[in-house]
Amino acid sequence: MVMILWGMMTWWYTDGWRQCLERATLRLEATLDTFSIGLLLSTLFSPFRQISAGNVRGSFDAQMRAFVDRTISRFIGMMVRLVMIVVGCVVIVCNVVFGLLFVLGWALVPVLPIVGLLLFLIGWVPWSS
Amino acid sequence: MEQLTFNHSSERAVKARLARTLAGAWVHSLTALTFVLLLAGVALLANALSLGWFLCGLSALPAMVVAWYTGELKPLRLVAAAKTIDDVLAGDILSQLPADPSPRDIATAVGASQSGFFFSARFGVTPTLLQNSASDDKSQTAAIWQDAWKLREQTGQDTISGGLLIAALMQRTPEHEMLLARLHLQTSDLLKGAAWQQHILELIEKHSKPKRTGGIARDWSFGYIPTLTRFGQNISEQIARGGLLAVDLESHTEALQQMIKTFTSSGRQNIALVGSQGSGKTSIVHAFASELLDASSSLPDTLKFRQVFVLDASSLLAAASGRGELEKLIMEVLGEAYAAKNIIVCLESAELFFEEGVGSVDLTNVLLPLLEAGRLRVILTMDEQKYLSIGARNSALVNALNRISIGPASEAETIAVMQDQLISLEFRHRVTYTYQSLQEAYRLSERYVHDLVQPGRAMKLLESAASYAENELVTMNSVQQAIEKTLGVKVAVASGEAERETLLNLEDLIHKRMVNQTRAVEVVSDALRRARAGVRNEARPIGTFLFLGPTGVGKTELSKALGDVYFGGEDRLIRLDLNEFVRQEDVARLIADGAKDSTSLTSRVMKQPFSVVLFDEIEKAHPAVLTTLLQLLDEGILRDEKNREVSFRDAIIIATSNAGAERIREYIERGYKLEQFEKSFVDELISSNQFRPEFLNRFDEIVIFRPLEKPELLQVVDLILAGINKTLASQKITVEVADDAKSYLVEKGYDPRLGARPLRRVIQRTVENTVAKQMLAGSVTPGSTVKVSLEEVTKLLGSEAQANTIAAGEPSQTTLS
């Protein structure tokens, strides 16, 4: 039994902790990939879901119309991307914070039974009258 | 090598046993306990009871055990510097071994492991077989560990898996060759099985990892593609969803690299993947699309996340009523793809866009400028022959394309493709394929499937074998049945009682149709028996025979009898009169493509490989024709004009010749027996330049048919009469000819130069005419017997001159009234 407990505790603070960190990192990477902030920034002023591209040949009117279309498309694109960058940043920050808490919290899990026992013995419940 | 030991008390072994104890119910219970404690704790705390703290804290204990089980015990990592067997043994086997295991204990542990289930289902190596073949002698255990360790090093695997242990156990079984042979396996197959299982585990791990495919903003900068979406299939999207499985093959890696290089260069942005059907062109496009989607790859930004759209030719053709409309639609679709900036268009079976025909239309005028400009990224997949024929018509088109040739896959690659594709194949058909079925599919498809190359041909056969699964298991037998039922070939070793009876009594059955020629009947029967017992050389035809002798002695009749008795009917006889192949140009008629000439030799054998192929009057063929037949006789292979290999390895090849018929008669008349002059006669044929020695040497047997004598002709009369009675059986009429009438018929029909042929004509004229007249006169009713007497025969045949006319087959001058 001692060997089993020892084995578990050894794993918890070595490979277990490392795996916990890996999981948090993978989650963060997935979030970064989902929001692709770098891609959003590099294409910030690109037209959004453009219907036509390239140089438009034709009359001055047609060229002006294409220019205006593209400008509007770029503006829409910039707005959508900005919103997505902001949302993405918030989600990423949350992810980092929760990831850190998760990794740090991992180390405290083995002492939770003792903490719980102490709190029970003290009888402390903050919301009791 | 030092003696390898097994440490039952090592930390890894203890953990393995603990993992086995915890697996299943225990882990589920602990998980449930965690939640129950946590919820109860929270509930108590909500009610201001401090006991809740204790319960919440306590819930950490089962949670930790579950985490430990999932993170360490279940995957059970290997020991870095492995010294003992338990350091590298697969966890599920290690957990079941006793302290001092015997080979049988190892076999039992392997049988109950994941590998054991795999080998039982895929190879037929069941736990019972393993246990029964392993000994209880513990002194042999060390040797088994030693072997397994060596195999691990040899195969480059990290773990000593169940597969390696099965191979090691089998090696130490005295009768292992016999055991494996019964399963149609070799020891190397077990190692391949271990590698296959390892590969599946790697695939599962690969697919369980989250994919990085560029995120939600990936396509925002690119164009809107409504028309392309309507007429194309976004294979990148399908791959991203996990719907298409790209197979990694070494031969494909090179093609992939070339594709990436072409699309990242400044040259024309198009690629023509040229290869025969079934070579894996579509798979390469899938693999390419998959590579582009991988955010972690080192591809340049100009290629990363580009999407591959396969254009559907039939939808395009259906949507546009006229040529002009179709051209407009194509331009719209391609224009959209170009404007979108992230699309690579794939024209699958691109020949459909470059030639006129059913389901195809020539759009060269529209597509060529686009391809020449090289700005729109296009992948074309094309059949090799079509590419060449299009190139011959329009060299500018071929010059505008960057060609990448895709060759057929090797055997190892084909097996690898089949193993990977099994995952979806088994899911679709709800069956399990054995390893032996894959090998058999490769072997038989090489031989019988001609319209595709590997791996496509083996895959096609494997898929059709699913319909012949027994208890949802696709075995070697299922694959053989698929071939036998679709082609009418017999590929399995004779096993049915009826077939065995036929084979053992083949001579008697043939003699029911022909008289004497015992030696010829015997050699042909022997060849068939060898073939069906599985002891013949499979790289040659079942048998190749040259029948020499005068006309009308049974050469062709024996071929027909064989087709009827064994191959299932006279229609199984593919007969070519070589007196129609007397010019050099006639070679082309032998090997013509079946689509152009369905009567060519190659196309007939392709359709019906299990046949008797009869080359009549071979001495009259042009030397070029005979040269063409040399490879056929030697290797059982003939290439048609499309360079496809047509197999004659399931056929009996019989060539007949009248050459030297006079000499045979002379020998016989001088009292020689066949065996006495056979050799000198063949030498005479060579020295008289009637046959070249290299041609005669290609035959398994040269059989000389001797002229029939009068007593034998009496038996022939009986056979011919039996044939007539068979014809009349539907009218319930029987013909009986008196013995003296038979002798008279033989007398009148006998011609030493023409054998039994005149006799047939004489009998047909006399007997059939008698019956016909009596039937018309109403004197014969169903159920009655027509008796033909000597008087009637004499009357019908009339004068000697008339009999001779009939015997010679000339039109009769007088009516038989």
Which domains does chain B show, CATH number per domain? 11-23+74-206 (no CATH), 226-405 (3.40.50.300), 411-487 (1.10.8.60), 497-704 (3.40.50.300), 710-807 (1.10.8.60)
Q: Any idea what DSSP says for residue B409?
A: P
* Tokens, residue B627: 């040269």
Q: How confident is the model at residue A13 (pLDDT cuts 50, 70, 90)?
A: very high
Closest CA to B8 of B80, B104, B105: B105
Nearest chain A residue (CA) to B9: A3
pTM over 0.90: no
To which residue do tokens 């059982």 refer?
B636
Contact B62, B33 (CB under 8 A): yes
B302 touches A: beta carbon within 8 Å? no
Alpha carbon of B311 to those of B232, B357, B381, B710: distances in Å?
A: 4, 18, 11, 75
Specify the pLDDT at position B496: 67
Q: Helices (DSSP H) in B265-394: which residue ranges?
A: 281-293, 313-319, 323-340, 364-373, 384-393
For the stretch B332-359, what's the b/e string if a residue is b when 16 or more beta carbons lie within 10 angstroms of its beta carbon? Answer: ebbbbbbbbbbbbbbbbbbbbbbbeeee
Residues 43-102 of A with CB under 8 A from B: 43, 46-54, 77, 80-81, 84
To which residue do tokens 């993405």 refer?
A88
Q: Give which of A19, A31, A70, A125 to mutate to test B binding, by max B Cβ within 10 Å.
A: A125
**B221/A3 CB distance under 8 A:** no
Count of beta carbons in the 10 Å neighbourhood of residue B437: 28
Distance CA B486, CA B270 (A): 40
* Tokens, residue B718: 């009986």
Q: Give which of B9, B44, B72, B228 to mutate to test A binding, by max A Cβ within 10 Å.
A: B72
A33 touches B: beta carbon within 8 Å? yes
Please tell me whether the peptide bond between B455 and the residue prior to it is cis, using omega within 30 degrees of 0.
Answer: yes
B58 touches A: beta carbon within 8 Å? yes
For the stretch B100-112, what's the b/e string if a residue is b when 16 or more beta carbons lie within 10 angstroms of its beta carbon? Answer: ebbbbbbbbbbbb
Distance CA B583, CA B439 (A): 43
A40 touches B: beta carbon within 8 Å? yes
C-alpha B814: how far from its chain's center? 60
Question: Which of A11, A43, A116 has the CB atom closest to B220's CB atom?
Answer: A43
Specify the pLDDT at position B812: 44
Distance CA B231, CA B281 (A): 21
CA atoms within 13 A on the CB side of B142: 6
A19 touches B: beta carbon within 8 Å? yes
B817 touches A: beta carbon within 8 Å? no
B67 touches A: beta carbon within 8 Å? yes
Q: Helices (DSSP H) in B433-517: which residue ranges?
A: 435-448, 456-465, 476-487, 497-504, 506-511
Share in percent of chain B as helix, strand, coil (round to 5)? 60, 10, 35
B217 touches A: beta carbon within 8 Å? yes
**A125/B68 CB distance under 8 A:** no
Question: Which of B52, B56, B71 has the CB atom closest to A15's CB atom?
Answer: B71
Transcribe B650-673 into DSSP letters. Answer: TSEEEEEE-TTHHHHHHHHHTT--
Closest CA to B114 of B148, B160, B163, B187: B163
**A35/B216 CB distance under 8 A:** yes
* CB < 8 Å to A117, chain B: 53-54, 57
* Tokens, residue B56: 């919440």
**B223/A16 CB distance under 8 A:** no
**A16/B68 CB distance under 8 A:** yes
Distance CA B139, CA B566 (A): 55
In the beta sheet, which residues pair with residue B343?
A: B307
Question: Which of A39, A48, A125 has the CB atom closest to B215's CB atom?
Answer: A39
3-class secondary-structure state, position B309: strand
Distance CA B558, CA B576 (A): 15
Largest CA distance in chain B: 133
Contact B652, B524 (CB under 8 A): yes
The type of residue at A4 is I
- d(CA B27, nearest CA chain A) in Å: 15
**B56/A3 CB distance under 8 A:** no
Nearest chain A residue (CA) to B57: A113
Specify the pLDDT at position B732: 81
B78 touches A: beta carbon within 8 Å? no
ipTM given for this complex: 0.88
Specify the pLDDT at position B786: 82
* Tokens, residue B134: 């392993």
B373 touches A: beta carbon within 8 Å? no
Contact B350, B382 (CB under 8 A): yes
User: Which residues have a Cβ under 8 Å from the Cβ of B297 and sit 6 or more positions away?
Assistant: B291, B304
Alpha carbon of B153 to those of A91, B3, B5, B159: distances in Å?
A: 47, 16, 17, 10
Distance CA B498, CA B649 (A): 23
Contact B491, B484 (CB under 8 A): yes
pLDDT for A51 beyond 70: no
3-class secondary-structure state, position A126: coil
Alpha carbon of B213 to those of B216, B295, B702: distances in Å?
A: 9, 5, 70
Nearest chain B residue (CA) to A20: B71
What's the alpha-carbon Rg for chain B, to the nearest Å?
37
The type of residue at B74 is K
Specify the pLDDT at position B801: 56
Distance CA B719, CA B508 (A): 14
* CB < 8 Å to A33, chain B: 212-215, 295
Distance CA B689, CA B674 (A): 22
A31 touches B: beta carbon within 8 Å? no
Distance CA B124, CA B439 (A): 14
Angle (CA) B397-B403-B406 rounded to 5° is 135
Closest CA to B335 of B260, B234, B233, B224: B224
The type of residue at B529 is R
Angle (CA) B707-B710-B715 rounded to 5° is 95
Contact B702, B682 (CB under 8 A): yes
Q: Give which of A8, A10, A128 to mutate to test B binding, by max B Cβ within 10 Å.
A: A8
Distance CA B647, CA B649 (A): 5
* CB < 8 Å to B49, chain A: 125
**B54/A3 CB distance under 8 A:** no
B332 touches A: beta carbon within 8 Å? no
**B64/A125 CB distance under 8 A:** no
Q: Give which of B10, B22, B64, B78 to mutate to test A binding, by max A Cβ within 10 Å.
A: B64
Q: How confident is the model at residue A56 (pLDDT cuts 50, 70, 90)?
A: low
For chain B, residues with pLDDT lower than 50 are 811-817
- d(CA B81, nearest CA chain A) in Å: 17
Contact B52, B42 (CB under 8 A): yes
**B223/A109 CB distance under 8 A:** no
* CB < 8 Å to A113, chain B: 54, 57-58, 60-61
Q: List the beta strands (DSSP E) in B365-442.
A: 378-382, 403-405, 432-433
Angle (CA) B305-B306-B309 rounded to 5° is 130
Residues 109-128 of A with CB under 8 A from B: 109-110, 112-117, 119-120, 122-125, 127-128
Between A and B, how many CB-CB pairs are < 8 A?
A: 133
Specify the pLDDT at position B122: 95
- d(CA B206, nearest CA chain A) in Å: 14
Distance CA B361, CA B311 (A): 14
Distance CA B817, CA B814 (A): 9
- d(CA A64, nearest CA chain B) in Å: 19
CA atoms within 13 A on the CB side of B686: 13
Length of chain A: 129
**B341/A15 CB distance under 8 A:** no
* CB < 8 Å to B67, chain A: 12, 16
**A48/B220 CB distance under 8 A:** yes
Largest CA distance in chain A: 87
